[in-house]
Structure 1
Amino acid sequence: MEEIKSLYIHFPFCRHLCNYCDFYKSIKEDEAQLEEFESLFSQMSKKHQEILTDNNATLKKLETLYIGGGTPSLWGIEGAKFLGKWMEENNISFCEKNEFTLEVNPGAWTKDGLEAWRNIGVNRYSLGIQSLDSNFLKIIDRVHNVDDVHNTLTFFKEGQYNFSVDFMIGLPFSKKYNRDIISELTEILTYNPSHISLYILTVPKHYKYFQDLPDDEWISDEYTKVAQFLSINGFEHYEVSNFAKRSKASEHNLNYWRMRSVAALGPSATGLIQNTRYRYKWKTKDAQVVEERLSEDEYQIEKLYMNLRSSVGFPIKDQYWGDLSEYVQKLKKDGLAMVGVNKFTLTSRGFLILDSIMDEIFKISK
């Protein structure tokens, strides 16, 4: 029986719906919505046990638990009580070494609420900052302001919390207003985060500011400057969008990039049971899932992509993809990869052209 040691929970409420975000969520207006969500969560939990049983898997001792959204910090004290009781009733506990992450947005938390989450085991926080420039916060429709950001960062620094900061580049009007991303990050580092996630804004063509997005050259330059700056300041670029101080990488997210099993609960949450290649995505209104069995080709392609986008790396000689030695040496020569004894990993420059590298590997392996 496979023991799954990672769980993702999706909390689907926010104070405000930002104009760029495509995660499933709705505006939290009253406590009745939370009661409905918790009822749905309990129903999903029962269905989830059936899924685990059917795939000869179990969920008992967790190495990682990640609560994302949405804005999970809005769940507050009652949410911590609910989840603590749910874990107890379902005999779910933590391994001695574990990582329990809660996403927090500026202006959407209370001291008592965070204390309640800490009491049930949260030991890592992901703060949705996105920018320290008030103009860009307005452009991307964030409901918090710069004062909310600094108040949040000050609280987490003074409390010596282990926290990550989410930042975005490639924002609308960045080129026009000459956004100084390094200045913003310099200020962020004074608060001593252990981890920084840096996402390139990706939006559909109907996005209201689509025509105002910076060009690829600007984004590439912005990304490269950030990677160099954070490297100088002691952060390892261990995944396309993630930088961490020593031993502070997100263990939960590394499980995705290693293609390990991750269980999931909550509307739109997606889980994977690795041994049976079974992927499931929860529907948003009832306790039912959309199921998928990955074929061998689908699994191997996804494994290649997930491994290469992180420091997990990929074998130079692989049973499925063959001998990549010649191509890997070319990548190394071009400064796009670092080569070890049996595997290779991409550099920051390599991450930027990951899709092109994947295409080339497809050609070589045909």
Structure 2
Amino acid sequence: MSKRIQSLYLHFPFCRHLCNYCDFYKKVPKDSALEIDEFHSYMKAAMIEHENLMKMNGCSWGPLKTLYIGGGTPSLWGEAGSTFLKNLLQEYKIELAPDCEFTLEVNPGSWTVESLDSWEAIGVNRYSLGIQSLNGHSIKYLDRVHTLEDVFETLEYFNKKKVNYSMDFMLGLPYSKETSRDVIDELERALKYNPKHFSVYILTVKDNYTHYAHLPNEEWIEKEYMQVADFLKSKGFLHYEVSNFALPGYESKHNLNYWKSESVAAVGPSATGFYSESRVRYKWKTKEAKVEIENLDEEAFKLEKIYMAMRSSEGLAPELFQGKPGYDQLIEKWKNAAYVEVNPAGHVYVTSKGYLLLDSLMSDLFSLKLL
């Protein structure tokens, strides 16, 4: 019996502008109409390739429980994109489950009401907004193409529609310390627009980054992260993954699949998919609709599963390490330092404070030869 694939990620590679910090695969089209046509041709060829890949791994499409369109700036795909995708899904008989979580990424200043209406007509019921900051200086230093006016126009629209949406925020931004950035004030203002979810990322760049010399130090970033975590939890949000906070019931179902090491299919330039049962990860090439394949052995898969469990509310199940020398003492040490909490059944959950030290916690497990 074939394994049912019920989650799909699609990558749309175009942006209005290339921000100076972003390392996702993307490009600014010189001729939009021509390059969108070429992208559609890529996607058609990729779907043929993907069908073969699925058969090789004994997989078939089940009704999709999650569908996520990321990028790039997918809101630029517009009505042409929603029509193309609707036809593509129909051609391959890919259905959406009645409770499918269908997410579209949207950037301020890069959407129209007509476009979003067309996406909602084919099932989009959740949005991820690339806000990053409600501070005009921070937006400028991040080289974002949108303005604060675009941000508030976008938030007003989504709040008025009462839709389910998430907001991206970034910490550790250039000049944060010099300008005394008040991220809690920004979040207070954001909450007036009733988002159900926040994704809060620490800016990670290479040393040739334009504003590298003006990034805040680790102490500032850790303080900022804990302030945000404590504040959002005080407002009823669950800190259910290192970078993610949700009101109860509004966790990202799609991303939870990654954190639980479950199967997620992917199509699009640079997109990465995973077939859990066959332990196969694949990544799409950007110039041609072909994939590079990585086979995970059982040890690598187990390590990845443990790391993913530690970085989310999945937590560590007691049977993973039961009876192993040093484990109980290590958990007690972590608990005393407030890095973890343990429920009565022995399930271990990393706290907001512990999330900041994940690599160190993994090293502890390695040093005791528990991994």
TM-score by length of 2: 0.97
**Matching residue of 2:352:** 348
The answer as to 2:40 corresponding to 1:60 is no
Kindly provide the CA deviation profile for residues 36-63 of structure 1, in whole angstroms up to 9, marking residues without a partner as x. 0011000000000000000001123100
Quick one: which amino acid aligns to residue 4 of structure 1?
A: I
**Matching residue of 2:192:** 190
**Matching residue of 1:87:** 89
Q: Assess, with a 3 A threshold, how the Cα gap between structure 1 residues 191 and 155 changes in structure 2: closer, same or farther.
A: same
| Partners of 2:210 and 2:179 in 1: CA distance | 18
**Matching residue of 2:19:** 18
**Matching residue of 1:144:** 146
Residue 27 of structure 1, CA deviation: 0.5
The answer as to 2:172 corresponding to 1:170 is yes
**Matching residue of 1:281:** 283
Of 294, 297, 306, 1:295 maps to: 297
Of 97, 100, 104, 2:99 maps to: 97
Quick one: which amino acid aligns to residue 209 of structure 2?
A: Y
Deviates further, 59-68 or 317-326: 317-326
| Partners of 2:130 and 2:362 in 1: CA distance | 30
| Partners of 1:256 and 1:108 in 2: CA distance | 28
Q: Please state whether the residue corresponding to 2:338 is helix, strand or coil.
A: coil
Kindly provide the CA deviation profile for residues 165-223 of structure 1, in whole angstroms up to 9, marking residues without a partner as x. 00000001111111000000000000000000000000011111111110000000000
**Matching residue of 1:156:** 158
| Partners of 1:82 and 1:321 in 2: CA distance | 54
Q: How does 1:178-327 map to 2 (within 5 A)?
A: 178-318=180-320, 322=324, 324-327=327-330
**Matching residue of 1:331:** 334
The answer to whether the 8 Å contact 1:316/1:328 transfers is no
| Partners of 1:342 and 1:120 in 2: CA distance | 44
The answer to whether the 8 Å contact 1:9/1:266 transfers is yes
| Partners of 2:88 and 2:329 in 1: CA distance | 52
Kindly provide the CA deviation profile for residues 268-314 of structure 1, in whole angstroms up to 9, marking residues without a partner as x. 00000011100000000111111100012211111111111000111
Q: Assess, with a 3 A threshold, how the Cα gap between structure 1 residues 275 and 259 changes in structure 2: closer, same or farther.
A: same
The answer to whether the 8 Å contact 1:64/1:99 transfers is yes
Q: Please state whether the residue corresponding to 2:109 is helix, strand or coil.
A: coil
| Partners of 1:311 and 1:231 in 2: CA distance | 14
Q: How does 1:120-139 map to 2 (within 5 A)?
A: 120-139=122-141
Equivalenced residue count is 366
Kindly provide the CA deviation profile for residues 233-284 of structure 1, in whole angstroms up to 9, marking residues without a partner as x. 1100000000000100000000000000000000000000011100000000
Q: Please state whether the residue corresponding to 1:275 is helix, strand or coil.
A: coil
Structure 2 residues not aligned, in runs of 5+: none
| Partners of 2:39 and 2:62 in 1: CA distance | 23
Structure 1 residues not aligned, in runs of 5+: none
Q: Please state whether the residue corresponding to 1:281 is helix, strand or coil.
A: strand
Kindly provide the CA deviation profile for residues 56-94 of structure 1, in whole angstroms up to 9, marking residues without a partner as x. 011231000000000000000010000011111110011
**Matching residue of 1:364:** 368
Quick one: which amino acid aligns to residue 358 of structure 2?
A: L
| Partners of 2:288 and 2:358 in 1: CA distance | 37
RMSD value over aligned CA atoms?
1.2
Residue 139 of structure 1, CA deviation: 0.3
Residue 316 of structure 1, CA deviation: 2.6
| Partners of 1:180 and 1:242 in 2: CA distance | 19
| Partners of 2:157 and 2:20 in 1: CA distance | 28
The answer to whether the 8 Å contact 1:321/1:365 transfers is no
| Partners of 1:82 and 1:328 in 2: CA distance | 51
Kindly provide the CA deviation profile for residues 303-361 of structure 1, in whole angstroms up to 9, marking residues without a partner as x. 11111100011113316994632212221121111112142110100101011000101
Q: After the TM superposition, which segments of 4 or more aligned residues of structure 1 sit over 6 Å from their partners?
A: none
Q: Assess, with a 3 A threshold, how the Cα gap between structure 1 residues 39 and 206 changes in structure 2: closer, same or farther.
A: same
Quick one: which amino acid aligns to residue 331 of structure 2?
A: V
| Partners of 2:19 and 2:259 in 1: CA distance | 27
| Partners of 2:319 and 2:59 in 1: CA distance | 31
Q: Please state whether the residue corresponding to 1:65 is helix, strand or coil.
A: strand
The answer as to 2:127 corresponding to 1:114 is no
TM-score by length of 1: 0.98
Q: Please state whether the residue corresponding to 1:20 is helix, strand or coil.
A: coil
**Matching residue of 2:7:** 6
Residue 96 of structure 1, CA deviation: 2.0
Quick one: which amino acid aligns to residue 364 of structure 1?
A: L
| Partners of 1:319 and 1:86 in 2: CA distance | 45
| Partners of 1:334 and 1:136 in 2: CA distance | 34
| Partners of 2:262 and 2:233 in 1: CA distance | 28
| Partners of 1:251 and 1:80 in 2: CA distance | 22
Percentage of pairs with the same residue? 49
